[in-house]
């Protein structure tokens, strides 16, 4: 069992280092990710969803992937493909967190998330929903953390599905608007992202579930 856990860790670290050395531009420029996807033609959507499913496990930011989806496919299909890829990736990472176990995940993400582990164990659905709307914890770190807690898969799945919808649509909209970066649509997208984050924060403050303590 420990051998397989170490193998998974080595694969994640090795894959991340390889991407950083060979495709550092993927971490900061959605247009590069978009060009990688588009060159696959009719297979582009499938390639994109697969990249989205595994990319965040190798530290490629989810927001970069979603913006790339908006650039490549437009708001509607960029949102659909991003949600599918993100959900698949979230399920896989959750399963990895459950397989690796709490102590092993703590060793990967560090002790600073110990309190968050306890909160997820107590109020999993509400906290996962909030952290999907207001992503103050990196996407894949949250997936691993959730998998290592007693939260039920059903609560995790639905909280992730619902919570990722606003941000995914808005970041895809932003990616689509990047074709005209000084257009009203671009600034509307930025404003709506800000409103979405603010609404998530207001919900946290008014919720009966105290997420911060």
CA dihedral 38, 187, 131, 47 (to 10 degrees): 0
Q: Are 120 and 146 in contact (CB under 8 A)?
A: yes
Convert the pLDDT of each residue in 43-80 to its tens digit: 888 888 887 887 665 566 777 788 888 888 888 998 99
Name the pTM for this structure: 0.73
Going from the C-alpha of 130 to that of each of 58, 108, 125, 149, 157, the distances in angstroms are 23, 23, 9, 17, 13
Convert the pLDDT of each residue in 14-50 to its tens digit: 555 555 555 555 555 566 666 766 777 778 888 888 8
Convert the pLDDT of each residue in 179-199 to its tens digit: 777 788 888 888 988 888 888
Please give the pLDDT value at position 107.
63
Report, as an integer, the average pLDDT of 111-125. Answer: 71
Q: Say how many residues make up the chain.
A: 213
**Residue whose tokens read 């908006």:** 70
Q: Where are the domains of the chain?
A: 2-206
- Angle separating helix axes 102-109 and 139-147, nearest 10 degrees: 160
């Amino acid at each position: 069992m420990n051998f397989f856990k170490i193998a998974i860790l080595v694969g994640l670290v090795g894959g991340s280092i390889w991407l950083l050395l060979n495709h550092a531009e993927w971490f900061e420029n959605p247009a590069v990710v978009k060009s990688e996807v588009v060159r696959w033609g009719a297979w582009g959507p499938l390639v994109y969803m697969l990249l989205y499913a595994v990319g965040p496990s190798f530290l490629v930011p989810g927001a970069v992937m979603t913006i790339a989806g908006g650039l490549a496919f437009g708001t509607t299909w960029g949102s659909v493909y991003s949600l599918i890829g993100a959900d698949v990736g979230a399920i896989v990472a959750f399963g990895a967190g459950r397989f690796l176990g709490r102590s092993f995940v703590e060793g990967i993400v560090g002790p600073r998330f110990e309190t968050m582990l306890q909160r997820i164990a107590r109020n999993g659905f509400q906290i996962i929903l909030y952290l999907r709307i207001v992503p103050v914890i990196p996407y894949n770190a949250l997936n691993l953390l959730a998998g290592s807690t007693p939260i039920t898969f059903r609560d995790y799945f639905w909280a992730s599905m619902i919570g990722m919808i606003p941000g995914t649509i808005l970041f895809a909209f932003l990616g689509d608007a990047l074709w005209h970066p000084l257009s009203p649509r671009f600034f509307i997208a930025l404003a709506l992202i800000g409103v979405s984050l603010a609404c998530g924060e207001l919900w946290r403050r008014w919720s009966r579930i105290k997420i911060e303590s």
